[in-house]
Amino acid sequence: MKLSITGAGYVGLVTGACFAEMGNTVICVDNNAAKVTALRSGEMPISEPGLADLVSANLRAGRLHFTTSLAEAVSATTIHFIAVGTPPGEDGSADLTHVLEVARGIGRHMQSECIVVDKSTVPVGTADRVRAAIQEELDRRGLALDFDVVSNPEFLKEGDAVNDFMRPERIIVGSQSPRAAEMLSALYSPFTRNHERLLVMGVRDAEMTKYAANAMLAVRISFMNEMAAVCERLGVDVENVRRGIGSDSRIGHAFLYPGCGYGGSCFPKDMRALVHMAAENGVDAGILRAAETRNQVQKHRLFEKIRERFDGRLAGKVIGLWGLAFKPGTDDLREAPSLVLIERLLDANAGVRAYDPVAMDNARRSFPPAWLRSDKLELVDRQYDVPRGADALALVTEWKPFRRPDFDALKRLMASPVIFDGRNQYDPQQVRAAGFEYIGIGRC
């Protein structure tokens, strides 16, 4: 099939590369000319395992193309994916400006019947607005062309997105048109050969499914973080509690890991958008608001533990940070807990020395200029440069290289052997046996 995908960001780029890998012709559109030029050369704007090889292979094969011209892409294809950003507004609502701009562009340039697919995470009812925007442009042109608008939300985990797309747990297609649903089913058939994973439902149902999925996962994380706070007060080890409740098949272990909060481009934004959507329709989303509030509190918990350990006297102390990205497998720093921790440490006149296996370049590009100018923040390029002379080491992102540290080397390098485990990655007894003071999240 011949596809256009507008938005060569995280979702659009993964989607385009994976569809091209299955033999489709894909034209990715982005209004950032520099990004398009880089992509044509195989340079990646994001760090995602396996994506660079996939893009390069399909560029060489002539199946994957990049352009800044929506008109060019629409005129050459019959299925048009919208995969642009929906940033949060001040009230938490999803901003559909970019989505509707693309919809109007499709309406201005389409020459024959087509299918328009909302891949972006959008509020319930967005497909109706996309349809109206396209139809308005067609009416302005005096054309009567048939088209369908389909919701096909993405369920990609950063750090494992290519694998998620190639081996999906489910593919949601929201469509009122049997013809459009059949076309999407055929497009996705190479990804579902071993097991039928495609679920067809109403458009509004599909739009809601995406928000509900992210909300459920965010609630589980916040629930476990709250349990960790209770466990700390009661002298209970939350790790045993996690294992105990996770062994219940009705609950399971996934997303039940206490830590220093969730971040990224999805959970925080989508939780606020869903709360706003509920309020607009007369529903008090108390559980969702509580989960988001708990997450904001949790992002400060690691700093509070560090401050408590040093009796509030952090000026002149050097705190080492392992991990900056909001999760392993990505260089994404959006709403990362590390940002809250760094800000509060710098405000307390502490020194910060930080390292991340992937996100260092992004940190140097995106950190506030005041941080980068400060002599209190040092970004280093080697893992064991972080603990050199540090008064404490804080694990913020649970990258694999951090899982089995050389405790003997750490003890030699650090000014004082104190470890704050923001992801409960280490065994407290093992760390203490190595001569360190261990402070985790809800651990005894």
Known catalytic residues? 266
In DSSP notation, 156-210 reads: --TTSHHHHHHS-S-EEEE-S-HHHHHHHHHHHGGGSSSS--EEEE-HHHHHHHH
Q: What gap in Å lies between CA 357 and CA 367, rounded to an integer?
A: 17
The amino acid occupying position 382 is R
Q: What gap in Å lies between CA 206 and CA 220, rounded to an integer?
A: 22
Q: Which tokens is 92 given? A: 């938490």
User: Which residue in this structure is represented by tokens 């890998």?
Assistant: 21
HSE-up (13 A, CA, CB side) for residue 347 = 9
Q: Categorise residue 106: left if φ over 0, alpha if ψ from -120 to 50, beta otherwise.
A: alpha
Q: Which runs of E-coded beta strand occur in 22-166?
A: 25-29, 64-67, 79-82, 114-118, 147-151
The amino acid occupying position 216 is M
The conformation of residue 264, written as its DSSP 8-state character, comes to S
Contact partners, residue 166, CB within 8 Å, separation at least 6: 18, 21, 191
The conformation of residue 6, written as its DSSP 8-state character, comes to E
Q: What gap in Å lies between CA 303 and CA 308, rounded to an integer?
A: 9
The amino acid occupying position 152 is N
Q: What gap in Å lies between CA 422 and CA 323, rounded to an integer?
A: 10
> Order of strands across the sheet with 79-82?
64-67, 25-29, 2-6, 79-82, 114-118, 147-151, 171-174, 198-201
Query: 204 near 230, Cβ under 8 Å?
Result: no
